[in-house]
Amino acid sequence: QSVLTQPPSVSGAPGQRVTISCTGSRSNIGAGYDVHWYQQLPGTAPKLLIYGNTNRPSGVPDRFSGSKSGTSASLAITGLQAEDEADYYCQSYDNSLSGSYVFGTGTKVTVL
Amino acid sequence: QVQLVQSGAEVKKPGASVKVSCKASGYTFTKHAIHWLRQAPGQRPEWMGWINVGNDERKYSQNFQGRVTFTRDTSASTAYMEVSSLRYEDTAVYYCARLVWIGEYENWIDPWGQGTLVTVSS
């Protein structure tokens, strides 16, 4: 299975800035496919956080921002808040084999 | 608002089949494909495939080809996913989600249904 790799966990104090990396390859992010980010609070379905590499859906605070470069992407959370404690997944498309939508390994954000 | 509401939790024995429904509201059902995904406990979401609700075209992930079937009822704005020959490792939360399509390189998944827990147990 194609893999987008994320750090297992990141943590920060309230108000701090944290970043989550998402490393792919030439068959997914490096091929030009957009990267999207999802936030999953405990016991709930994933929710779209960033789409098209850098865009926030309506209602998502501007504390969340995304970027993409080469075969990688990043999610930044500035002004960390307790309610940001969740799992975060990046997602893209992979054109190897017959093509599939692929998710990152996931990152647990802990607010200290 | 756009909403996907799934059917309730299921408990099935190994070898059985399960069918999950996903009722859409708040948008024109036939204008967006529906993805199906699953998430085993403690794991990342896994893409199973999608169904183009408008023309009934389907694409299945290689990991599920031959064991999963997607269907839809446009009159009821409902999509269905059936998994056959269930195994213990199929225990997971199954999600439907809407595909937002701009182009081949620009498409994303939003929103997701609330999820349906399928437990395979003898």
d(CA B118, CA B83) in angstroms, rounded, equals: 10
Chain B residues in contact with A20 (beta carbon < 8 A): none
The predicted structure's pLDDT at residue A17: 97
Q: Which of B105, B63, B66, B96 is nearest to A1 (CA)?
A: B63
Rounded to the nearest 5°, which phi and psi values hold at B37? -140, 165
CA distances from B71 to B13, B33, B98, B100 (A): 23, 11, 15, 19
- Using one digit for the tens of pLDDT, what is the confidence trace for B93-116? 999 999 998 888 888 999 999 999
Q: State which residue of chain A sits closest to B105, comparing Cα positions.
A: A33
d(CA B64, CA B62) in angstroms, rounded, equals: 5
- Using one digit for the tens of pLDDT, what is the confidence trace for B55-71? 999 999 998 889 999 99
Please state, rounded to an integer, the average pLDDT across all residues of chain A. Answer: 95
Strand partners, B117: B93
Residues written for chain B: 122
Asked if B117 reaches chain A (Cβ–Cβ under 8 Å), the answer is no
Cβ distance of A34 and B105 shorter than 8 Å: yes
Cβ distance of B106 and A52 shorter than 8 Å: yes
Q: Which two tokens stand for residue A46?
A: 């994933």
pLDDT at B42 over 60: yes
d(CA A92, CA A78) in angstroms, rounded, equals: 23
The predicted structure's pLDDT at residue A112: 94
Exposure of A61 in the CB half-sphere (CA atoms within 13 A)? 11
